[in-house]
Amino acid sequence: MIYDQRLTCLCKIYLKYINCINGNILFNSTLQDTELKGYFIPKHTRVLSVTWALDHDTKLWGNDVHEYKPERFLSQDGSKVVKPEYAIPFSIGKRSCPGKSLAEVEVFLYLVAILQKFEVLPPAGKQVDLEAEFGINLQPKKQEICFKRRH
């Protein structure tokens, strides 16, 4: 694969979509009877931590949290990817994704290979909807896209 200056831009686009890999939920259970903000939680209760709330917290990411700003993950000079400690797309702790490194490399290489050869566009007269569908995990809405050869 031959890389050129356009990869800097492709890297920035990639950073926006790496959060799509996010499992969005951490499964745990309580080790003892617990009280949290006035709620009683019995021992061995399954607890779900929704990391989506962390990923969209304006206190951490700023009031523009819902805007497309891949530069959030770049150093001031734009030369390095910087991951804030509260960005946890692959979960955390002993239950974090064991394939994180492989997934990041594979997704990056596939996206770069596709984006080097094709422009990805919405069908004529339509716009791409970047909102997610909710369920146990977030997923992109089904929609049509067009691939146009670059060369």
What distance in Å separates the CA atoms of residue 78 and residue 71, rounded to the nearest whole number? 7
Residue 43 corresponds to which tokens in the numbers above? 């021992």
Q: What residue numbers does the annotated binding site for heme cover?
A: 97
DSSP 34: E
DSSP string, 120-148: EEPPTT-----PEEPSSS-EEPP---EEE
What is the number of other CB atoms lying within 10 angstroms of the CB of residue 15?
A: 18
Contact criterion met (CB below 8 Å) for 50 and 22: no
